[in-house]
């Protein structure tokens, strides 16, 4: 890849393929694979990622909201797309684009049945979500009967999937909690499927579920972060390849004297002579103020350069004292080293937040190298 001349997020589709194959190797060949593409495929590019995964034979895609699914359909994606958190106001749009809604509450079930009936559907596919301890979305165990009875009373919809979501699959200190979730899912789905009279596909595991609890893979797994190269644990990260690399260049270099300050609020004060570089990337691009004031570093010609002072909207300043470099040189914010997991950890957050926060202002470029 040629050196960049501006801020770009480089997306490596070969790394995506590597991660998909690695994660697939952790499950049975008969288990379906759902790729989670919410939030622009974790900040990369949902359409390019979907096209690649569809070509690789992924079974299902998932997004959070209806309009994310519509964008994929408009780009020609044909495989099933599960909408994880649909809102009733979007049901007509969802039906029009043959997206599969997650039905997670009585209110959403009532209104989806109405929409499906009004548009003359028969056996429109839905997935039912149960809450097994995350306490975010999903029916409670005690609602099994009411829900299954109501579903059996209409021909407009048909349950093609039933699922739940783990709260702490990445944390082996919470193993007992996760195992209780696994048992709860088993009980709930047994009762629910018995009431329905058929067994739709069942799915429970996210990326860390695949790596830590593969015995509970059921008929399908749902992976997001793993496809993009992170496994929530350093030893898993090593087996995966980061899909996204955030790169920029040095816009300008300044030499500053002792007692001079850098940036807004004069947040960095030089004690000695310093050489600093200004980069064309800031909190409006997704590198938040949390990364400023010496907390985090980037790489300039293979050397660590700390972010100094406050992160501005469109710029950050880094300390390049003793790093041989010139205006125009490439700077790696995160990629293989530091990776998004390490970079985000320096500010006490996680790769998910960093990746999905890279704003749409940053140009996405694609590579296969
Ligand atoms: C985001 C999400 C996933 C993907 O989780 P990862 O940890 O990124 O693999 C799976 N299932 C649901 C319901 C989600 O919301």
What are the pLDDT digits (tens) for 301-324?
A: 999 999 999 999 999 999 999 999
Q: Residue 232: CB within 6 Å of ligand 1?
A: no
**Measured from the CA of 227, which atom of ligand 1 is nearest?**
9
Q: Which of 41, 104, 181, 222 most suits a substitution to test ligand 1, by most atoms within 8 Å of the C-beta? A: 222
224-235 pLDDT, tens per residue? 999 999 999 999
One DSSP character per residue, 74-124 reads: HTT--S-EEESS--GGGHHHHHHTTPEEEE-SHHHHHHHHHHHHHTT-SSE
Sheet of 8-12: strand order equals 252-256, 274-279, 316-319, 303-308, 297-300, 330-334, 244-249, 8-12, 363-367
Q: What is the mean pLDDT of the chain?
A: 97
At 368, is the pLDDT very low, low, confident or very high (cuts 50, 70, 90)?
Answer: confident
Q: Residue 36: CB within 6 Å of ligand 1?
A: yes
Peptide bond into 338 cis (omega under 30): yes
**Measured from the CA of 169, which atom of ligand 1 is nearest?**
7
Verdict on whether the full-model pTM lies above 0.75: yes
Q: Residue 207: CB within 6 Å of ligand 1?
A: yes
Which of 333, 284, 337 lies closest to 313, judged by CA? 284
At 1, is the pLDDT very low, low, confident or very high (cuts 50, 70, 90)?
Answer: low
Between the CA of 18 and the centroid of ligand 1 the distance, in Å, is 19
% the chain with pLDDT above 70: 100
222-272 pLDDT, tens per residue? 999 999 999 999 999 999 999 999 999 999 999 999 999 999 999 999 999
- Residue that the structure tokens 């195992």 belong to: 179
**Is 221:203 a contact under the CB 8 Å cutoff?**
yes
Is the pLDDT confidence value at 192 over 80? yes
Structure tokens at 3: 């050196």
122-134 pLDDT, tens per residue? 999 999 999 999 9
Which of 322, 285, 290 lies closest to 303, judged by CA? 322
**Measured from the CA of 42, which atom of ligand 1 is nearest?**
8
Is the pLDDT confidence value at 87 over 80? yes
88-132 pLDDT, tens per residue? 999 999 999 999 999 999 999 999 999 999 999 999 999 999 999
Q: Residue 84: CB within 6 Å of ligand 1?
A: yes
**Is 183:190 a contact under the CB 8 Å cutoff?**
no
Residue 211 CB contacts under 8 Å (≥ 6 apart), including other chains: 26, 226, 231, 233, 236
Between the CA of 349 and the centroid of ligand 1 the distance, in Å, is 17
At 2, is the pLDDT very low, low, confident or very high (cuts 50, 70, 90)?
Answer: confident
**Measured from the CA of 84, which atom of ligand 1 is nearest?**
13
Q: Which of 206, 352, 353 most suits a substitution to test ligand 1, by most atoms within 8 Å of the C-beta? A: 206
Question: If you take atom 13 of ligand 1, which residue's CA is the nearest one?
Answer: 165
- Element containing residue 148 per DSSP (H, E): helix 144-152
- List residues with catalytic annotation: 38, 264
One DSSP character per residue, 271-328 reads: SS-EEEEEES--GGGT--GGGTTTT-EEEETTEEEEEES---SS-EEEE-TT----TT
Q: How far is CA 195 from the centre of its chain?
A: 34
**Measured from the CA of 34, which atom of ligand 1 is nearest?**
10
Q: Which of 16, 165, 181, 211 most suits a substitution to test ligand 1, by most atoms within 8 Å of the C-beta? A: 165
Which of 125, 365, 116 lies closest to 247, judged by CA? 365
pLDDT of residue 3: 87
SS3 237: helix
Structure tokens at 139: 């029916």
- Residue that the structure tokens 């990337």 belong to: 281
pLDDT of residue 138: 98
Q: Residue 131: CB within 6 Å of ligand 1?
A: no
**Is 317:277 a contact under the CB 8 Å cutoff?**
yes
């Amino acid at each position: 890849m040629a050196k960049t001349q501006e801020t770009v997020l480089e997306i490596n589709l070969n790394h995506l393929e590597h991660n998909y194959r690695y994660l697939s190797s952790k499950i049975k060949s008969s288990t379906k694979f759902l790729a989670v593409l919410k939030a622009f495929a974790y900040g990369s590019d949902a359409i390019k990622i979907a096209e690649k995964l569809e070509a690789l034979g992924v079974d299902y895609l998932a997004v959070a909201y209806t309009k994310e699914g519509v964008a994929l359909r408009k780009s020609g994606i044909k495989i099933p797309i599960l909408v994880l958190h649909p809102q009733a106001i979007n049901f007509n749009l969802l039906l029009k684009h043959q997206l599969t809604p997650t039905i997670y509450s009585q209110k959403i079930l009532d209104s989806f049945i109405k929409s499906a009936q009004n548009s003359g559907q028969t056996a429109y596919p839905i997935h039912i979500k149960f809450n097994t301890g995350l306490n975010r979305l999903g029916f409670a165990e005690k609602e099994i009967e009411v829900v299954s009875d109501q579903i059996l009373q209409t021909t407009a919809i048909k349950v093609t999937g039933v699922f739940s979501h783990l709260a702490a699959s990445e944390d082996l200190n919470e193993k007992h909690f996760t195992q209780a979730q696994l048992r709860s899912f088993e009980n709930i789905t047994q009762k629910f499927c018995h009431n329905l009279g058929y067994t739709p596909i069942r799915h429970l595991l996210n990326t860390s579920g695949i790596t830590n609890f593969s015995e509970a893979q059921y008929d399908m797994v749902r992976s997001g972060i793993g496809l993009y190269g992170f496994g929530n644990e350093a030893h898993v990260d090593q087996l995966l390849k980061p899909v996204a690399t955030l790169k920029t260049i040095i816009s300008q270099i300044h030499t500053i004297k002792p007692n001079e300050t850098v940036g807004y609020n004069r947040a960095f004060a030089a004690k000695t002579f310093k050489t600093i570089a200004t980069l064309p990337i800031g909190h409006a691009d997704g590198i938040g103020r949390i990364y400023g004031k010496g907390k985090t570093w980037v790489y300039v010609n293979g050397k660590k350069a700390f972010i100094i002072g406050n992160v501005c909207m469109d710029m950050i300043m880094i300390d390049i004292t003793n790093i041989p470099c010139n205006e125009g040189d490439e700077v790696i914010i995160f990629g293989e080293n530091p990776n998004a997991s390490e970079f985000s950890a320096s500010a006490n957050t996680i790769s998910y937040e960093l990746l999905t926060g890279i704003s749409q202002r940053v140009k996405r470029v694609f590579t296969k190298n």
